[in-house]
Amino acid sequence: MLSWFSLIFRAALIMTGFVFAGHLSRSAFARLILRDQARSSVWELLDRVAYVGILGFGIVCALGTAGFDIVPMVAGLGLTGFALGFALKDALSNAISGVMILLHRPFATGDTIAVAGFEGRVTGTDLRYTTLEADGKRHLVPNATVLNNTVTVTLAAKNNADL
């Protein structure tokens, strides 16, 4: 049987490895963000998710190595994740739709689009909303609505010259 000191040392060594892996992940995403400024918000989100996921997995592995029974904790985390996912399904749907819009870029800032009864010039897209401006009004259209409905795009004047 291993001594407590040995178990704690192994757990600390494992956690150190996961912290190092988390920092490697952050530096890789930092380079990606610098290279692709147009999609920086997507890369920043994925950076945070990867870092928290790596550290969370590291904590569970370190606790298991230290001799703790992690089965109830993993089951509790699974149930918590399910409950949060169900409670935040609309927000998560908009965030995932925002990532898909930002990655595929079906329209650009400055284009005029019509979607779900709203029409206006696109002034921005973030992880939750696509912002349209028209007639002195600003419409915040949820990204899930933009992704799941037909979008009519009128290209901006600068883009029409390129066609």
- Asked whether the whole model's pTM tops 0.75, one would answer no
Domain ranges, ordered by start, for the chain: 4-87, 106-160
The region that residue 110 occupies, defined by phi over 0 for left and psi between -120 and 50 for alpha, beta otherwise, is: left
pLDDT of residue 59: 94
Residues of the chain short of pLDDT 70, as ranges, are: 1-2, 156-163
Note the pLDDT of residue 61: 93
Topology of 106-160 in CATH?
Answer: SH3 type barrels. (2.30.30)
Phi-psi region of 136 (alpha: psi -120 to 50; beta: other; left: phi over 0): left
- For the stretch 57-82, pLDDT in tens is 999 999 999 888 999 988 998 899 89
Please name the residue ranges forming H helices in the chain: 4-35, 40-65, 71-87, 89-104, 143-148, 157-160
Q: Tell me if the domain spanning 4-87 has CATH number 1.10.287.1260.
A: yes
Q: Which amino acid is at 14?
A: I
Model pLDDT, residue 2: 65
